Structure 1
Amino acid sequence: MEELKRRYLQEFLLLSSSTVSLKEYVKVIKERQTRLRNCYAETIEMNSEDFVKMILLQGAPNDRLFSKPWMEVDVRYDMILLENQLPFFILEDLYDVSNIRNKLHHKGLSLLKLTHEQNFSQVDHILDFLRICQRPSNLHTESKHKLRKQSAWHAPSATQLHQAGVKFELGSTKNKFDIQFKNGILKIPRSRVTKRKEYFLRNLQAFEQCHCYDNKYISDYIAFITMLVRTPKDVEVLAQSGVMQNRLQNNDTLSTIYNYLGTGNFVSRNRFHFSDVATLKQDYFNTPWAGISIITAAIRLLLTLIQTVYSIIQTYR
């Protein structure tokens, strides 16, 4: 990779204006060296020259790897690792100095161009940028979605809801945060679960848990889904309604992953994005209709058991 980084730097310089020299890029990084070092939790034991060299090699993008599909996947995993992030401001500064706005043709610089167009002025790094791209359009205020009771945290599982008469339907939007509960119907946008998505969620979750105070919407989403998915049976219930598509080995694997994601996933009682939906246990289970639904389910189970016993008796008479 070190050799590839040198090639990237050379091609980045070739894309730049002929009036921009390597010394100018070095100067930009040196002027921001203190701020760069302060972005990292641990003290970076490097002298100034080596540090500047490292940042310059890391910050020069290229599409040599991205032009090879079999390598692109592996590189994507590395790029979204929380511990691999490079402060975004230095990428923007190098981009501005390069004067290559009209020569953009590969993904790395196109991403920088997109941030300028969208005015993401508070982006910390690439992973933060990806989190912002996931941001719900209806972020709540604290007063609007404060949880009413602690019991609301313990929402029932998908199996329990199904047995109580709640119906699951596939949401009409692709926005995974657009989860709605109304008239006994829980609408959830389709969730395709793959190893790649698990990896993506883990790193977004780690970033929010470490660095975000307000609106932990990724962590809130994980919390809500892990309330629903506790066992392989819960996965089956959601899959039957089309809400969940499991691309992993089996339902046991998926339920294990969600349970693991839920471990240590701290969310705020005053800023829980799905509090309106999470209170469905409190709102729905306490209604007369919910009681009737539970009684009906119990009667069906009893009748099924009686029929099974009767069949066994008839067989061995």
Structure 2
Amino acid sequence: MNIDSTRSAEQHSVTIWEINRDRLTAMQHKLSDTPKLLSVAAGKSTCSIFKVPQTLIDVNGKSYEPHIISVGPFHHGQPHLKMIEEHKWRFLRQLLNRTSVKGTVLEDYLKAVQPLEITARECYSGTVPYSTDEFIEMMVLDGCFVIELLRKFGGLVEFEDYDPLIRMSWIVSFFLRDLIRLENQIPYFILECLFELTKTEASPTLATLALNFFNLATQRPDHVLEKYAHVEAKHLLDLLRSTFLPHELEKPIKPDNRPPPHVIHSISKLRRAGIKLKTWEAESFLVVDFKRGVIHMPTISIDDFMSAFLLNTVAFEQCHSGCSKHFTTYVTLVDCLINTSKDVSYLCDSNIIENYFGTDAEVATLFNNMGKDISFDIDDCYMARLFDDVNRHYHTGWHVQVASLKYTYFNTPWSFVSALAAFVLLLLTVAQTFYTILSYVRPP
């Protein structure tokens, strides 16, 4: 009995050892593999172009995907983007026809980009599944198309007669949005390399051309854009983002000797506590302040472009390891202020929001979704002092009760009339009671 059991145990151990040997071989193969969907380089500050996290896609849908043009490898070759892919070659041909006069040919473009290949690949969060030749061709073709597009809209190069890319106005609006999508970028140093190779002596800077192009949607004064003619950036989305950062508030302001700040209530509740909301002039809508019970905010226009810009900028801040969280903080603030369409209506009436996006309910949904599944440290954000001051004011004793009384009974003319009528009725009741008691104590 013991001998049989021993043989059985030996056979069993041999069987288990064979299974482990196969599994060990498979594990050894996996040990040599490197992550492809999220590369190791994605954690470096040099990585700046990311696939948007699925959690954000689940909330905000296709706001991160290009609709008519692909730039870079993440959406390269998709069927619905082939229409503009054909025009990229037309734009490159036009560029070569101009630069061939001074002896610059297609081979020069490829040779200029080739030394930048490895650095450019490391800018993407996932492994780029293209060969060296394919990758360099993509960088040159996409980069030259973007630069030519900026030159044409900047008036440096004329559009061809009846060019559909300018004659069809709907295409321009999609260009504006697709060129600021996080997944649809190429490194800015690639654009600069190609730009320097093809520019003329009197040409504005690449940043100036790009910001003037995006100004078709943002509509900012020229003197604001002039300050960023030589700004450095990681890609076009980062370029536009950097021009909105409030320089005087770049360093987080932490409250001293105070408990950690908390997010604030909706504007409806804040108004009941006497906190008001007023618009003020500033170069960026990110410059928000709170003084003497009043939140001061610049006006922001909400439309299709701005919604795409905010969503993709927040996604960029969530993914980039060395990036400040200014836009994330601003979106969190507005998300706190807005709970319902009534809150949006009040922000519109106060000229804080100019709504070109849709109904008030749609704007409320936009910001509420934008604030979901994002991570930011309220202690380190540049509005830490504001969140703290608003909360302290909201929870202060007697003036909250007075403000609530005013909001309830004196917010509208009809509520004031009702309160006044109730007060007069109370006086008459008191007077009647007084004379009744007086007639009982001192009868005539």
- TM-score bucket of the superposed structures, by smaller chain: 0.7 to 0.9
Residue in 1 that maps onto 2:190: 90
Partner amino acid for 1:83? Answer: E
Which one of 94, 108, 123 corresponds to residue 24 of structure 1? 108
What SS is found at the alignment partner of 1:102?
coil
SS at match of 2:102: coil
- On the 8 A contact 1:215/1:271 being kept in 2, the answer is no
Q: Which residue of 2 aligns with 1:42?
A: 126
Pairing partner for 2:357 from 236, 248, 252: 248
Aligned to 1:315: none
Q: Deviations over 1:250-307 (max 9, x none)?
A: 2211111110000022222342111222123332123344333255248739x96xx6
Distance 1:232 1:117 in 2: 37
In the TM superposition, what are the counterparts of 1:120-269 in structure 2 within 5 Å? 120-121=231-232, 123-142=233-252, 144-145=253-254, 148-150=258-260, 152-269=261-378
Determine the C-alpha separation between the residues in 2 that align with 1:116 and 1:231: 38
CA distance in 1 between counterparts of 2:226 and 2:284 reads 21
Tell me the percent identity: 24
Matched-pair contact (CA < 8 Å) for 1:15–1:103: no
Equivalent position amino acid for 1:39 in 2 = C
Change (3 A) 1:127 1:28: same
SS in 1 for 2:319: helix
Which residue identity does 1:49 align to in structure 2?
D
Which residue of 2 is the match for residue 15 of structure 1?
A: 98
* Residue type of the alignment partner of 1:281: V
Q: Could you say if the C-alpha distance between residues 279 and 290 of structure 1 is closer, same or farther in structure 2, counting changes exceeding 3 Å?
A: farther
Query: Equivalent residue of 1:83, what SS?
Result: coil
Which stretch has the larger CA shift, 111-120 or 225-234? 111-120
Match of 2:209 in 1: 110
Which stretch of the first structure deviates more once superposed, 195-204 or 278-287? 278-287
Question: What residue ranges of structure 1 are gaps of 5+ in the alignment?
Answer: 312-317
Q: Is 1:3 aligned to residue 78 of structure 2?
A: no
Taking structure 2 as the reference length, the TM-score comes to 0.61
The answer to which of 182-191 and 215-224 deviates more is: 182-191
Q: How many residues in Structure 1 have an aligned counterpart in Structure 2?
A: 305
Q: Which moves more between the two structures, 60-69 or 20-29? A: 60-69
Q: Give the AA of the match of 1:20.
A: T
Distance in 1 between residues matched to 2:118 and 2:238, nearest whole Å: 21
Please give the alpha-carbon distance, in whole angstroms, between the structure 1 residues aligned to 2:390 and 2:199. Answer: 57
Q: CA offset at residue 176 of structure 1?
A: 0.9
Q: TM-score of the superposition, structure 1-length normalised?
A: 0.84
Runs (5+) with no aligned partner, structure 2: 1-83, 153-158, 160-164, 213-224, 423-444
Deviation at 1:14, TM superposition (A): 3.0
Alignment CA distance shift 1:95-1:242 (3 Å): closer
Q: Which amino acid aligns with 2:230?
A: N
Looking at structure 1, the residues matched to 408 and 168 of structure 2 have their Cα atoms a distance apart, in angstroms, of 59
User: Deviation per CA, 1:191-212, whole angstroms, max 9, x where unpaired?
Assistant: 2222221111101111111115
- The answer to whether the 8 A contact 2:341-2:364 is kept is yes
How far off its partner does 1:173 sit?
2.8
The Cα shift of 1:116 comes to: 11
Q: For residues 116 and 194 of structure 2, what CA distance do their matches in structure 1 show?
A: 11
TM-superposed CA distance for 1:131, in Å, is 0.7
Measured against aligned partners, the alpha-carbon deviations of 1:84-124 in whole angstroms (never above 9, x if no partner) come to 1011101111122235243569x898239999974333x11
Q: Which amino acid aligns with 2:237?
A: L
CA offsets, 1:201-224, max 9 Å, x none?
101111111115452111111111
Change (3 A) 1:28 1:179: same
C-alpha contact 1:180 1:188 (8 A) present in aligned 2? yes
Supply the RMSD in Å over aligned alpha carbons.
Answer: 3.3
Q: 1:93 is paired with a residue of what secondary structure?
A: helix
Q: Is the 8 A contact 2:285 2:299 kept in 1?
A: yes
Alpha-carbon contact 2:280-2:299 (below 8 Å) kept: yes
